[in-house]
Amino acid sequence: MKRAEFRHVLSSLDLSDRYPEQACCRKMVQLLDSCPNCFSRDSYPAHFTGSAFVVSSDGARALLHHHRKLNRWLQLGGHCDGDEDVHSVAQREACEESGISGLVVASVRPFDLDIHEIPAFAGEAPHMHYDVRYVLIAPEGAEIRISPESNKLRWFTPEEMRGCSLDAGLRRLIEKWQALLAHRQARPGPDEASRPGGDCHRF
């Protein structure tokens, strides 16, 4: 997915008024249009990142890692490093940080959008991450392997995550995931479509 296609996807998202993503979407399109190197980590004060909310094959648990640098629980993901295919970035980072091969893409459309500040660290100035988030599904019986990016890596139920100190963006992502699960349980069927992220229908 190249820049023009990515712009079209962002512009065409059917975003819910319940979430602050309309403003995020507008800012992301503005960054795309105004910054040629917005997919590079050297782009300041903002650049794109891709992340993945990895869920178990039955959708009952989600995989989080305790980020070594930021010292908090987060979904998997990272920098694009010049790759304009943010969806591919999220998939690559999820595989590298979880050790899971065969992750299935729930939807090629973003499930969540988030803009957040990254604090100064090791001589790096504070800056903004324009994070584009996707849902990926682990195969049944998937084994995880911790990476150098993480202090810890583990599966969580929604109840367990509620007891953790999580940032607002991740809590919103979890809320949307739970809403999707509840919707699926109430109205099962392969043709249902999630909102706002598209056809997230594989669990």
Which CATH fold topology does 3-186 show? Nucleoside Triphosphate Pyrophosphohydrolase (3.90.79)
Dihedral sign for Cα atoms in the order 100, 118, 176, 89: negative
- Boundaries of every domain in the chain: 3-186
pLDDT of residue 19: 61
Strand pairing category for 73-74 and 112-118: unpaired
Q: What does each of the 203 residues of the chain score in pLDDT, given as a tens digit?
A: 788 899 989 988 866 655 667 789 999 999 999 999 999 999 999 999 999 999 999 999 999 999 998 899 999 999 999 999 999 999 999 999 999 999 998 988 899 999 999 988 878 889 999 999 999 999 999 999 999 989 999 999 988 998 898 999 999 999 988 888 888 778 655 544 444 344 554 54
139 touches 104 (CB < 8 A)? yes
Within a 10 A sphere around the Cβ of 22, how many other Cβ atoms? 14
pLDDT of residue 180: 84
